């Protein structure tokens, strides 16, 4: 699609049921992001996302949407400390997590690692620009590339990642002027290869666009400034919950019940009227006898 100049759609996703629906809707790429820490597990930060949980969620999404491209997001400290461990963890996303590609939050200093992953046969999406896993370094989540120096650094990061072998880039929360410089830089370094660039809060020029699923459908309380909801599922979920509370209170839960097989109800009633004179030993007596043996 990038080669043909057709924008492609991405969304985060964290379960098979939602993945199945989004694939039917035509969403091309599903990102199993470390945002699951916040929107699924209720944790305060994305860096709290456990690796094992994210592997399981990624596999679930792929099983729900086998034809979609599924991207596994490598969580905090799954690739930063040791290159060997990073490659093994990335490999687990492809084998256990069934992912088609892994995403790492990187700058130019990670070029060596991205190169080794590529040589190992692991497709990498390099996440540049604003990097949420480094939010603690700046006191919170913030945009990137708002100064000329920072913008030039991001362009250099993009070039380094493509030279290292990244198959895709994701650029987050940068002004459109930065994206306008990154796209031709990626094309130059790709030397004829197609390296799609996905944007999130990076303007409309990117080859693909991604957003957090819960932000898109109105399930989050305070979505980021670049996330414009297209639905209000939050209110719909609350209304459905209230409707269920009312049904239960009125003993009118709806649906269809079950019936016994023909004749079984009569047998059940007849059995209840039979002689109940047979006695059974008290459970404590049974335990006592077992102990005696």
The pLDDT profile of the chain, 293 residues, written as one tens digit per residue, is: 999 999 999 999 999 999 999 999 999 999 999 999 999 999 999 999 999 999 999 999 999 999 999 999 999 999 999 999 999 999 999 999 999 999 999 999 999 999 999 999 999 999 999 999 999 988 888 899 999 999 999 999 999 999 999 999 999 999 999 999 999 999 999 999 999 999 999 999 999 999 999 999 999 999 999 999 999 999 999 999 999 999 999 999 999 999 999 999 999 999 876 645 555 555 555 555 555 54
Determine the distance from the C-alpha atom of residue 237 to the mean position of all C-alpha atoms in its chain, rounded to a whole number.
Answer: 20
**Residue 75 gets which letter from DSSP?**
P
User: Quick one: DSSP state of residue 48?
Assistant: G
For 156, the 3-state DSSP assignment is helix
SS (H, E, C) 17-47: HHHHHHHHCCCCEEEECCCHHHHCCCCCCHH
pLDDT for the residue numbered 282 = 57
* Contact present, 154 and 171 (Cβ < 8 Å): yes
Domains and CATH numbers, the chain: 8-238 (3.20.20.60)
Per the CB < 8 A criterion, the answer to whether 71 and 79 are in contact is no
Residue pair 19/61 in contact by the 8 Å Cβ criterion: yes
CB 127 within 8 A of CB 105: yes
Say whether 270 sits in a helix, a strand or coil.
helix
Predicted TM-score (pTM) of the model is 0.89
The 10 Å Cβ neighbour count of residue 180 is 12
Residues annotated catalytic, as ranges: 172
């Amino acid at each position: 699609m990038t080669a043909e100049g057709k924008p492609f759609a991405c969304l985060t996703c964290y379960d098979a049921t939602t993945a199945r629906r989004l694939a039917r809707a035509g969403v091309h790429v599903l990102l199993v992001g470390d945002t699951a820490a916040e929107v699924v597990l209720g944790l305060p930060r994305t860096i709290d996302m456990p690796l094992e949980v994210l592997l399981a969620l990624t596999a679930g999404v792929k099983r729900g949407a086998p034809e979609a491209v599924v991207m596994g997001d490598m969580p905090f400290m799954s690739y930063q400390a040791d290159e060997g461990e990073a490659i093994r963890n990335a490999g687990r996303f492809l084998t256990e997590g069934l992912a088609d590609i892994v995403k790492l939050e990187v700058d130019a200093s990670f070029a060596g690692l991205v190169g080794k992953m590529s040589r190992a046969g692991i497709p990498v999406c390099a996440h540049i620009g604003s990097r949420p896993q480094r939010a603690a370094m700046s006191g919170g989540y913030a945009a990137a590339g708002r100064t000329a120096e920072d913008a030039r650094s991001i362009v250099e990061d993009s070039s380094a990642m493509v030279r290292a072998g990244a198959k895709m880039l994701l650029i987050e929360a940068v002004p459109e002027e930065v994206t306008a410089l990154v796209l031709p830089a990626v094309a130059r370094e790709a030397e004829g290869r197609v390296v799609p660039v996905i944007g999130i809060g990076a303007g409309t020029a990117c080859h693909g666009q991604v957003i957090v699923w819960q932000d898109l459908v109105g399930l989050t309380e305070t979505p980021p400034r670049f996330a414009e909801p297209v639905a209000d599922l939050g209110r719909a979920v609350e209304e459905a919950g209230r409707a269920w509370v009312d049904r239960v209170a009125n003993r009118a839960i709806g649906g269809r019940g079950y019936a016994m097989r023909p004749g079984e109800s009569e047998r059940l009633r007849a059995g209840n009227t039979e002689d109940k004179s047979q006695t059974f030993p008290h459970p404590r007596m049974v335990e006592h006898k077992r102990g005696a043996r």
